[in-house]
Amino acid sequence: MSDRDTPRVAVVGGGVAGLTAGTFTARAGFDTVVLNHGESILRRNAHLENVPGFPAGVNSRLFADLLERQAERNGCLIEAGHVTEITGADGGFRLRVDEANRSDIRSDYVIVASWAESTYLETLDAVGLVSRGSKTYVEVDDDGRTGVDGLYAAGRIAGKAHQVIVCAGHGAEVALTLVHDSDVPFYHDWVVPEGYFTDRGRDVPPGCEEIDGDERRRRERESIELMAEAFETTHPDDPTPHPTLVEDSEK
């Protein structure tokens, strides 16, 4: 573990799995940085269907924007950066980032969520990489652990289905695996009514929060206002073309 009071998690990849994982580790009290290279495949979609809570679907670029906003709101630092190598360092990891004027990033834990980039993992001999056609996946156990202690993989790069809700759920699951593997005290990410624990003579467990009626209504109003603003008009961006289509148009 590093000398920092708060352990650091570096999430490689700012797509659905990476941003969800980062939100969960940040809410659990970790110093979390999400390193994003390029843009999520999510932004290529014409319209997102089959996402719980959106009966008529949702604009995929708006959904991506809201994922980023949620991650930042909960304490994630989102930075542009292409991770080119990961090595072990002082009981943690050193991430080499290919950006001008940037020093290497050190972290205690790493969550890999960078579909479909994996070459930066080749320096870690204990990480299993499996090629299937043109794609490479990271071998993980049932909870997202790789063969290297402290390094996890989530979403498509871990072999999960190409669906937003599946990758979001796996990002959350892997983040909670990391939290429970760490020394950070954590019970459950749960906001409950005032007295839920304390009126039964119990302390509020780590990760939980009790709020009174005024605070509950304030948060509800804030959520309504934020979502009303987000959905007030159509999203200004068109779907991002597939890279091969861009290449063809430039010939």
Residues 27 and 226: their CA atoms lie apart, in Å, by 20
Q: Along the 251 residues of the chain, how does pLDDT read in single tens digits?
A: 444 568 999 999 999 999 999 999 999 999 999 999 888 889 999 999 999 999 999 999 999 999 999 999 999 999 999 999 999 987 899 999 986 556 789 999 999 999 878 999 999 989 999 988 888 999 999 999 999 999 999 999 999 999 999 999 999 999 999 999 998 999 999 999 999 999 999 999 999 999 999 999 999 999 999 999 999 999 999 998 887 776 655 55
* Start-end of CATH 3.50.50.60 domains in the chain: 8-186
What class, spelled out in words, does domain 8-186 have in CATH? alpha beta
Phi-psi region of 178 (alpha: psi -120 to 50; beta: other; left: phi over 0): alpha
DSSP 76-104: PEEEE--EEEEEEETTEEEEEE-STT-PP
Task: Give strand pairing partners of 11.
Answer: 34, 111
Distance between CA atoms of residues 149 and 168, nearest Å: 23
